[in-house]
Structure 1
Amino acid sequence: MRTISNKRWIALTITILLILGGYLAYRPAMDYYVKSKLDPQVELSASTQKMTQIKSYRYVLKSGFTVDGREEVISEVEGEKEQGNTHLKGEMVNTPVDIYYIDRTIYNYDSFSEKWLVIDSGTTNSEELLISELNPLSNFRFKSVSTVEKVGFEPVDGTECLLVSCQPSVESQLLESLWDNFKYQIWIDYKQQIIRKATLEATNKQNPNTRLSIAVEFYDIDQPITIEPPDTTKGTN
């Protein structure tokens, strides 16, 4: 009886190992199959569309010029958005900034007077303020995209992303009025169909030796974020 019992245990162990081995072999094969079937044009369209529907996110944005090979930083900011409200903090044109945009009102901390300036923007749409740092997604809205190339796969904060490149025509009036020859690279979380990271480069219409670069990363997408007006009786945090 003990011999039969031992044989059963051996057979059961072998069966489990075979099943486990098959599963471990199946996962990478399935992952490879899924990635091989990704259409970069479809994934870009789906992710840009979904990004317009998200309610909240945080971001890190850096922008700058390259003029005759010399690099100049325009802005380095961290921001957060919740519905139509925005808060960003960092530096723009070598000047510290701490800006809130809430319900038509701009709260701008003046580091020289150490006071909050409160301004009625006259609009409920932050895009009309023509400050891309307040709405980084405005840089990644396209009128049309002729060709999208699949560059490969790269991780962003531990999430494997599909990296694509394209040269679209853009919707942003601010970008379109000053720049052309737009070149984008976009890291798409293809499982969630959202953009995790994106960069763009463009050439100045008046001076081809001047190039614009913008890089932005998105995180805490659709996570709870609360943005409230600052206490204007006190200095910045």
Structure 2
Amino acid sequence: MGLSYSYSMEAVEEVDGQRRVLAVLEGRKSGSEAQISGDLPFINGSIELIRKSNQLYRKDALEDRWVKVPLVNLEDLETLMVEINPLSIFSFLDNTAVEYAGKGKVDGRRCRIYEAMSRGENMWLTFIWQDYNYRIWVDQKEGYLKQGEITAEHRDDSTHRLIVTVKIKDYNQPLTIEAPVQN
């Protein structure tokens, strides 16, 4: 089956101290199956996707129905799922020096906090942003990532920042992801 977990993610843009929410998402992943839903205020829209049995479904908000997303091949599906996988933003392109930054709690769990600077390998992030700072909270007992925060500067304006916060829970709990009923 593979690793399973649920998560929440928020992406915020900050320009000259003014904050604007870009995305608020929730999702679940169980092995190769995944489900994600949430709001994308920066485009005044929402998103709802399900991956089940190597097929991708998207909720058409205008018609309130599920549609199969045509994919050229399985590689296209894998590429898309990496882009919406919250753990992919914690993948680094280079050998990264990680420093211990103290202790904290996430959802009542004691965690060790680590910090790192890296370029990252997520295409969505590296296209516009640079100078990434990562803060990650790792459960002291289980060793799982419980929370992560990334801050980055815009390539053209250092007063323009991106802040992405991800909280992860329900590791290896039974999660059922069903294909949607198509209308």
TM tier relative to shorter chain: 0.7 to 0.9
Between the aligned partners of 1:87 and 1:208, the Cα distance in structure 2 is: 34
Q: Which residue of 2 aligns with 1:217?
A: 167
Partners of 1:211 and 1:65 in 2: how far apart? Answer: 6
Matches within 5 A, 1:34-113: 55-93=3-41, 94-113=44-63
Q: Relative contact order: is structure 1 or structure 2 higher (C-alpha 8 Å, sep ≥ 6)?
A: 2
Distance change >3 Å, CA 123–CA 228, structure 1 → 2: farther
What TM-score does the superposition give when structure 2 sets the normalisation length?
Answer: 0.87
Give the gaps of 5 or more residues in structure 2.
none
- More helix by proportion, 1 or 2? 1
Identify the range of structure 1 (103-112 vs 216-225) with the bigger mean alpha-carbon deviation.
Answer: 103-112
Give the one of 79, 91, 112 matched to 1:128.
79
Percent identity between matched residues is 27
Distance in 2 of aligned mates of 1:66 and 1:165: 21
Determine if the alignment matches structure 1 residue 173 to structure 2 residue 123. Answer: yes
Q: Does 1:227 align with 2:177?
A: yes
TM-fit CA distance, 1:123: 4.5
Per the TM alignment, residue 185 of structure 1 is displaced from its structure 2 partner at its CA by 0.6
Divergent runs of 4+, >4 A: none
Larger strand percent: 2
| 1:221, distance to aligned residue in structure 2 (A) | 0.5
TM-superposed deviation, 1:145: 4.6
* Partner Cα separation in structure 1 for residue 158 and residue 78 of structure 2: 27
The offset of 1:97, in angstroms, is 2.3
Q: 1:111 to 1:173 in 2, by over 3 A?
A: closer
Residue identity opposite 2:181 in structure 1: D
Give the greater-gyration-radius structure (CA).
1
Does structure 1 residue 203 correspond to structure 2 residue 153? yes
> Could you list the runs of 5+ residues in structure 1 that have no partner in the other structure?
1-53
The aligned residue for residue 19 of structure 1 is none
Structure-1 separation of matches of 2:166 and 2:33: 19
CA contact (8 A) 2:82 2:88 kept: no
1:138 lines up with 2:101 in the alignment: no
Q: 2:104 aligns with which of 154, 165, 186?
A: 154
How many residues in Structure 1 have an aligned counterpart in Structure 2?
180
TM-score by length of 1: 0.69
